[in-house]
Amino acid sequence: MTALLSMLMTHSAQAQLSPRYQDSNRDLVADLPADESDWRDPRILIFAYTPVEDPALYTQVWDEFITHMEGLTGKEVRFFPVQSNAAQLEAMRAGRLHVAGFNTGSTPVAVNCVGFEPFAMMAAEDGSFGYEMEIITYPDSGIETPADLAGRQLAFTSPTSNSGFKAPSTLLLSEFGLNAGDDYRTTYSGSHDNSILGVVNSDYEAAAVANEVLRRMQGRDVVSAEQYRSIYKSLTFPTTAYGIAHNLHPLLAQQIRDAFFTFDWEGSALQREFADAGMASFIPINYQQHWQVIRNIDEANDTVYNCD
């Protein structure tokens, strides 16, 4: 496990920005460095979407958006198909990743530990947004409610995932008295896609997943509603946060923001891929406001981010 992922400890509460960064306006996000010599203006921009089961597919999904970003920035943009949350976090901390979509649970880690500045997320036409965590099982598993997970197996995705670990482990303990590893067996699949496929193929008895991924997989006919049952559905959480490394040149940073908010979804591969999740545009976000519920979950878990 990398240093970034060793943040799951139980002797501190509220996570704080790494001392490597400044936050003069107290918005909980790293400021642009005061010294202009620390601003970055790379010749090639690297963009990464949160890890998925088939990165090659998402290279095509984002192709038109990348072309749009190239037109506004005047730079070559390359899609980086990350295999794990840890790889994505390490890449931005090392300066190899400039624009990214971090999943909900990884966003606070990215903000605090690698200088991620989130500014957008996907939303529906009416501006509504978010997804729910669902615990799913296969039809004849004998698991009817979360309480039935006692003595059974539950697949998580990764320790940094909100719906794939943080939220379900918290609610199972608080609502049903089930402690991960003690009252039910756990495994990590690496992604929501893998967890869903593992359930429908009966490789996992149950899994905690983001239902926006579930809907997209159904929309692509990868899985069908008859292949699984949902036994729990959470409140609504914010979805993937899109943003940049905090130290990009201000002009370049603004051009990248403009690329998100001026992209024409109509008829695009992005629209087709995310239509089943109800997404149709990018909207501005405020990390301090929109991620409050996620930080609360982390605090309830006594999570501390070890950014060393």
What mean pLDDT is predicted for residues 204-214?
96
Rounded to an integer, what distance in angstroms lies between the CA atom of residue 247 and that of residue 182? 43
Residue 219 placed within a domain = yes
Regarding whether 114 and 251 lie in a shared domain, the answer is yes
Tell me, yes or no, whether 56 and 71 share the same domain.
yes
- Given this model, what pLDDT does residue 9 score? 32
Residue 89 and residue 229 in one domain = no
Q: How many percent of the chain have pLDDT more than 90? A: 79
Q: Are 305 and 28 in contact (CB under 8 A)?
A: no
Q: What is the pLDDT of residue 306?
A: 77
Confidence of residue 177 (pLDDT cuts 50, 70, 90): very high
How far apart, in Å, are the Cα atoms of 168 and each of 40, 86, 105?
Answer: 39, 20, 12
* Among 93-107, 121-135, 232-246, 291-305, the least confident range: 291-305
What's the average model confidence in pLDDT over 97-105? 96
Are residues 109 and 154 located together in one domain of the fold? Answer: no
Q: Which residue has the tokens 């009966």?
A: 202
Number of domains forming the structure of the chain: 2
Q: Does 170 map to a domain?
A: yes
Per-residue pLDDT reduced to its tens digit, 9-68: 333 334 489 999 999 999 999 999 999 999 999 999 999 999 876 777 788 999 999 999
- Together in a domain, 44 and 108: yes
> How sure is the predictor about 134, in pLDDT bands with cuts at 50, 70 and 90?
very high
Above pLDDT 70, what percent of the chain? 94
Residue 261: give its domain's CATH number: 3.40.190.10
How much is the mean pLDDT over the chain? Answer: 91
Residue 236 has pLDDT above 80, yes or no: yes
State yes or no: pLDDT of 6 exceeds 60: no
Q: Which residue has the tokens 């591969």?
A: 269
Q: What is the pTM of this model?
A: 0.81
- What pLDDT score was predicted for residue 58? 82
pLDDT-based confidence at residue 124 (cuts at 50, 70, 90): very high
End-to-end C-alpha distance for the chain, whole angstroms: 13
Nearest to 191 by CA among 213, 222, 167, 223: 213
Show the domain range for 207. Answer: 131-236
Highest mean pLDDT among 1-15, 79-93, 258-272: 258-272
